[in-house]
Amino acid sequence: MERLLKRLEEANVGLLKENELLANHTTWKIGGPAEVLVIPKDIEGLITTLQLANESKVPVFIIGRGSNLLISDEGIKGVVIKISDAIDHLEINGEEVRVGAGFSLIKLATLLSKQGLSGLEFAGGIPGSVGGAVFMNAGAHKSDISNILQKARVLYPDGTVKWYSNTEMEFSYRTSRLQRDHGICLEAIFLLQKGNREEIIAEIQKNKQYRKTTQPWDYPCCGSVFRNPLPHHAGKLIEDAGLKGYTVGGAQVSTMHANFIVNVGGAKASDVLNLIDHIKKEVYRKFQVEMETEVELVGN
């Protein structure tokens, strides 16, 4: 690892930190240390970091803004690359928007609404980055990323970079081919529509307000924990199982929305995992419905 660190420094890839607590980089405020955390200064720095790590046979894990992510208390061995605001270029050409993976999804939705561009209103209030949203096919209010994405530029662990069309991304509910292929979204091209600026802004604000009044953003959380086992809704199943407010250590099923697990103070990843396991067992015992996590579990 020392040799790799030296090569990364010489290549000037960006900011390097050893044994950095990943709790500082997740919306849940949970996660042990990264052996090495790299925050690349640009896409070239990201690609170089990946290439050098591969040459050194050091494992790599990518994070964005740290939402939808549960990192183990033991942390992550190897190199963790954080795609930050440094990879946040934005070009607006008429109805076509080209944006870097590190750009905040909420910020993008708000900015485009002020430009009178419609199609991203559903993202008002969705935490995380553009790259994470493409990876997960993030969505809300009966729409998602698959409805607006034209192309995505994807980096693979071997250093290969490819452009994929919407169809080639193989989108489905909270899923894309990137999860299966371990691809990293570098940037996305969205196709929006011109609309009434005031109406678009009003829709964004309505969606933001809905989230504020129905979801527990006053506590650290990751967003929705479970996928909706259609035609059921995860939150309703958990609530009907009597689990609102159920607590393990510092992790609690939100009293506001049962598909959120909140960190009420000092929660560990093990607390969340034990709570997830309890929810799965109780929902199945009462309703014979298998629950599947939407949040990505990383580490031991």
The CATH architecture assigned to 90-214 reads 2-Layer Sandwich (3.30)
In this structure, the number of other CB atoms found within 10 A of the CB of residue 117 comes to 25
Which position has the token pair 């600026």? 197
Q: Is residue 265 left, alpha or beta, with left meaning phi > 0 and alpha meaning psi from -120 to 50?
A: left
Q: What is the pLDDT of residues 53-110, one digit of tens each?
A: 999 999 999 898 888 899 999 999 999 999 877 788 999 999 999 999 999 999 999 9
Q: Are the C-beta atoms of residues 224 and 234 closer than 8 Å to each other?
A: yes
Rounded to whole angstroms, the Cα distance separating 22 from 43 reads: 22
Rounded to whole angstroms, the Cα distance separating 203 from 200 reads: 5
* 169 token code pair: 């991304």
Does the domain spanning 234-298 belong to CATH 3.40.50.2300? no
Residue 215 pLDDT grade (very low, low, confident, very high; cuts 50, 70, 90)? confident
* CATH fold of 2-82: 3.30.43
Catalytic residue set: 174, 224, 294
Q: What is the pTM of this model?
A: 0.85
Q: What is the pLDDT of residues 200-213, one digit of tens each?
A: 999 999 988 888 88
Q: In this structure, which amino acid lies at residue 139?
A: G
Rounded to whole angstroms, the Cα distance separating 193 from 129 reads: 21
Q: What percent of the chain has pLDDT over 90?
A: 81
* 257 token code pair: 């929305």
What local confidence, expressed as pLDDT, does residue 83 receive? 87
- What is the enclosing helix (H) or strand (E) of 178? helix 177-181
Q: What is the pLDDT of residues 164-184, one digit of tens each?
A: 999 999 999 889 999 999 899
